[in-house]
Each structure stands twice: as structure tokens, then as C-alpha cells.
């Protein structure tokens, strides 16, 4: 299974990377619900998040926690919400979404579009947090 996330991980498709280690990558969602919406993805191709090995699952959440703290420092919000949906891309991933109201977590909302310069500025603010 070669997903869009696998292509981002391999560098075949560019992304606005927030962080990366040997097992995980975090990058800005290019169709965000709100400013700072970030995806956290295990590099190992696994369709369902609950099919990850127990240690890999725990490590993914530890990495996710680190990224969420950076987002909270960089993006004005009341808190950073989490969503695991898995219906659009068959590669396990976690949405980190800066929230100011429950409406910010509605996937039926019109997605935002930023210029490349705006994405780079958001990326920079989170990575430096």
C-alpha cells in the first residue's frame, strides 16, 4: 500500500514538516480545519491505528504529545484537540487541531487555504515553539 503519506515520508511529495524522528513525522495539513492543523503519522505503513504494535502505538502518542505542546505554544487556542478518523487515507494518523470552540473540530467545515508563504510562517512558528 503506497499512500500519500508514504510519499510525503519518502520525500516524493513535499510537506510543511513540523518534526520527524526515526518512526514518525508531523506536518501541516494542507487542507486544514483551522490554522495549525497538523497530522502526526507513523512511518510504518499501517492502515488502522489500532493495528500498530503496542510499543509503536505508545511511541506514536508520546511523539504526538510533544507536537501538541508545540502547537499550543505557537497557535492561539484554548486547547489542542485530537481526532483519529482514518477514512480518507488508509495510513494511520492523528489530527492535532487547535481549538477555540467545538465548531473547530467539525470535519464538514470548509477547509482553509493558505498561501505557501503563510504555510511556511505557520510551520516556522510551530517548529520554533
pLDDT at residue number 1: 61
Cβ proximity of 93 and 86 under 8 Å: yes
pTM (two decimals): 0.96
Nearest partner of 28 among 114, 90, 129, 128, judged by Cα: 114
Q: Which domains does the chain have, with CATH numbers?
A: 4-127 (3.30.428.10)
Nine cell digits for residue 107:
470535519
Output the CA torsion sign for 10, 51, 85, 104.
negative
Output the CA torsion sign for 9, 56, 64, 105.
positive
Residue numbers in the chain where pLDDT is lower than 70 = 1
Give me the active site residues, please: 93
pLDDT at residue number 84: 97
Amino acid at each position: 500500500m503506497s499512500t500519500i503519506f508514504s510519499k510525503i515520508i519518502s520525500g516524493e511529495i513535499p510537506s510543511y514538516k513540523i518534526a520527524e524522528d526515526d518512526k514518525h513525522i508531523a506536518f501541516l495539513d494542507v487542507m486544514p480545519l483551522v490554522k495549525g492543523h497538523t497530522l502526526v503519522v507513523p512511518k510504518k505503513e499501517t492502515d488502522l491505528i489500532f493495528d500498530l504494535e503496542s510499543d509503536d502505538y505508545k511511541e506514536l502518542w508520546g511523539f504526538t504529545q510533544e507536537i501538541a505542546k508545540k502547537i499550543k505554544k505557537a497557535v492561539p487556542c484554548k486547547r489542542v484537540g485530537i481526532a483519529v478518523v482514518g477514512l480518507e487515507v488508509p495510513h494511520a494518523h492523528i489530527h492535532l487541531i487547535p481549538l477555540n470552540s467545538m465548531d473547530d473540530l467539525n470535519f464538514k467545515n470548509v477547509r482553509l487555504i493558505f498561501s505557501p508563504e503563510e504555510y511556511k510562517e505557520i510551520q516556522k512558528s510551530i517548529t520554533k515553539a
